Amino acid sequence: MVDDLVRDIQARSAQLRGLNARVRFVLSGSSDVILVDASTPTVSVARADGEADCTLRITAENLDKLINGKLNPMLAYTMGKLKVEGSTAVAMRLSSMLDG
């Protein structure tokens, strides 16, 4: 499932170009981490850990729903399904980019 998530995020890399930040997805209930580096014009997505401007903690299932528009990021945050650490501004920009 994590490899599918990486591919889904990579497929949206053109949308993420303007993010100008690094985002780390820590998948709850597992030791998996996905790092999105959109700090340069070439966006990279890897199943790796590293420093990030914003860390999002979410289950793999909810991340899949979030990426595919089946889970509203604000609702997920409000319900505790999504936890944000670091820059909330980056999280908000990411949310609007994935919505498009």
**Domains of the chain, with CATH numbers?**
2-91 (3.30.1050.10)
At residue 100, the pLDDT reads 52
pLDDT given at position 99: 63
State the pLDDT at residue 91. 94
Q: What is the pLDDT of residue 1?
A: 87
Does the pTM exceed 0.85? yes
Distance CA 67, CA 93 (A): 14
CA 82 – CA 78 distance, rounded (Å): 8
